[in-house]
C-alpha cells in the first residue's frame, strides 16, 4: 500500500503538476504527502545556518522563511483539501537531499514533475530527476503535464523478461493491483535484436512460471524499429495512461531491455512514466 508519498518541489508549475497527481493518489489510498524543498545555498550560508558565521545567518534564515511562505501558499490549494500534507525544507544538494529524505521518511512512492518533451532532454543527462530515477529504491513517478484528475486504467510495463527483472516486476504488479490498473506486460522486438515469436513466448512463459501469485495481466509482443518507439506506439495503441520500466541504478535507463532505450522514451512520452529498481 502507498502510505507515504514524497513530492520534491521547487515551487514550479511542473512541481505543482506532480503534487496534483500525488494528491489524487493520496486521496485514493488514504496516504500522507510530504513536500520537500531543498535549499541549495552557498556553503558559507549553510555553515552559518548551522551555527557558523553570524554575519551569514540572516541570509540563510531569509531563504528558509521564503520557502515556508511558498509552502503555505502551495498547501492552501483546493486540490489538497482533506489530505495530510507536511512540509520540509532542508539545506542540502537537491539529489542528495531527496535520496536521504526518501529513506528517512520511509516513502513508498516519489512523485516528481518534469518539463515537456524538450525540457525532458535533461532527464537522462544529469538532472536531479534523472539521478533520483536511477538511484531510488522506491518507485518514482515522473509527471510531465497537468492532470485535473489522475485516472489511469491501462498500465504498460515494458520488460525483457530476464531473470534480473523479477524484483522490478513484483513492484510493478503490486502497483497495478493496488491501483486497480490493467497490467499489460510488453516485450519489444527490434530488427537489431530480433527473436522469433515462439522464442519470446517461451521466455515469457519461463518468467511468469516464477510468479504464480500474479494472475491478472496480459502478455504482448510488439515489433518496431527501436525499443523506445515500440513502447510509445504500443502505449498509444491501447491508450495507456501510464508506462512503467525498470532501471539498473547507475547504469541507468540506457541498459534497459536490450540496451537501446535512450532518452527518447521519456523525452517523447507525454504520458506519465513510473520506474522500478531492478
CATH number, domain with residue 136: 3.40.50.620
Counting every residue written for the chain, the total comes to 278
Q: Which residue, of 78, 108, 143, is where some domain finishes?
A: 143
- pLDDT surpassing 90 at residue 206: yes
Look at residue 45 and tell me if it is in a domain. yes
Domain that holds residue 186: 154-277
Look at residue 244 and tell me if it is in a domain. yes
Look at residue 149 and tell me if it is in a domain. no
Look at residue 25 and tell me if it is in a domain. yes
Q: Which residue, of 91, 113, 143, is where some domain finishes?
A: 143
Whole-angstrom distance, CA of residue 256 vs CA of residue 245: 8
| Cβ proximity of 8 and 114 under 8 Å | no
Q: Which three cell numbers stand for residue 49?
A: 545556518
* Chain segment 149-187, per-residue pLDDT in tens: 888 999 999 999 999 999 999 999 999 999 999 999 999
Residue for cell digits 524543498? 37
| Cβ proximity of 103 and 73 under 8 Å | no
Residue for cell digits 506486460? 185
| pLDDT on residue 156 | 96
* Chain segment 65-83, per-residue pLDDT in tens: 888 888 888 888 999 999 9
Whole-angstrom distance, CA of residue 89 vs CA of residue 21: 21
**Which has the minimum average pLDDT: 46-50, 58-62, 134-138, 240-244?**
46-50
| pLDDT on residue 115 | 67
Q: Which residue, of 113, 143, 173, is where some domain finishes?
A: 143
Of 54-58, 72-76, 126-130, 214-218, the range with the highest mean pLDDT is 214-218
Look at residue 172 and tell me if it is in a domain. yes
Query: For 1-108, where are the E strands, in sequence order?
Result: 4-8, 32-39, 85-91
In 161-255, which ranges are continuous DSSP H helix? 166-178, 197-209, 227-237
Better-scored residue on pLDDT, 185 or 258:
185
- pLDDT surpassing 70 at residue 241: yes
Better-scored residue on pLDDT, 229 or 166:
166
| Cβ proximity of 145 and 14 under 8 Å | no
* Same domain? 139 vs 158: no
Number of independent structural domains in the chain: 2
* Chain segment 14-44, per-residue pLDDT in tens: 899 999 999 999 999 999 999 998 876 655 5
Q: Which three cell numbers stand for residue 134?
A: 536511477
| Cβ proximity of 269 and 232 under 8 Å | yes
Predicted TM-score of the model (pTM): 0.85
Better-scored residue on pLDDT, 27 or 266:
27
Q: Which backbone phi and psi does 182 adopt, to 5 degrees?
A: -80, 115
* Chain segment 87-109, per-residue pLDDT in tens: 888 776 777 888 888 999 999 99
Look at residue 148 and tell me if it is in a domain. no
Return the exposure string of 36-64: e unless at least 16 CB atoms fall within 10 Å of the residue's CB, then b: bbbbbbeeebbbbbeeeeeebbeebeebb
Amino acid at each position: 500500500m502507498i502510505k507515504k508519498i514524497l513530492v520534491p518541489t521547487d515551487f514550479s508549475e511542473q512541481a505543482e503538476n506532480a503534487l496534483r497527481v500525488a494528491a489524487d493518489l493520496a486521496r485514493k489510498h488514504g496516504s500522507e504527502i510530504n513536500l520537500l524543498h531543498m535549499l541549495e545555498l552557498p556553503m558559507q550560508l549553510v555553515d552559518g545556518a548551522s551555527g557558523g558565521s553570524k554575519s551569514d545567518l540572516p541570509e540563510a534564515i531569509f531563504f528558509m522563511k521564503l520557502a515556508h511562505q511558498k509552502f503555505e501558499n502551495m498547501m492552501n490549494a483546493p486540490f489538497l483539501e482533506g489530505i495530510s500534507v507536511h512540509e520540509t525544507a532542508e539545506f542540502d544538494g537537491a539529489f542528495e537531499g531527496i535520496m536521504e529524505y526518501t529513506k528517512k521518511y520511509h516513502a513508498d512512492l516519489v512523485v516528481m514533475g518534469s518539463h515537456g518533451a524538450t525540457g525532458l532532454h535533461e532527464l537522462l543527462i544529469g538532472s536531479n530527476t534523472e539521478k533520483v530515477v536511477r538511484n531510488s529504491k522506491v518507485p518514482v513517478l515522473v509527471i510531465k503535464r497537468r492532470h485535473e484528475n489522475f485516472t489511469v486504467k491501462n498500465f504498460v510495463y515494458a520488460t525483457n523478461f530476464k531473470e534480473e527483472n523479477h524484483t522490478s516486476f513484483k513492484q510493478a504488479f503490486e502497483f497495478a493491483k493496488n491501483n486497480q490498473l490493467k497490467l499489460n506486460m510488453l516485450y519489444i522486438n527490434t530488427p537489431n535484436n530480433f527473436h522469433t515469436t515462439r522464442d519470446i513466448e517461451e521466455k515469457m512463459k519461463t518468467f511468469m512460471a516464477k510468479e504464480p501469485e500474479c494472475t491478472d495481466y496480459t502478455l504482448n509482443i510488439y515489433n518496431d524499429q527501436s525499443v523506445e518507439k515500440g513502447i510509445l506506439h504500443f502505449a498509444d495503441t491501447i491508450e495507456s495512461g501510464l508506462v512503467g520500466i525498470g532501471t539498473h541504478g547507475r547504469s541507468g535507463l540506457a541498459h534497459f531491455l536490450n540496451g537501446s532505450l535512450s532518452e527518447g522514451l521519456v523525452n517523447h512520452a507525454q504520458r506519465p512514466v513510473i520506474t522500478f529498481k531492478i
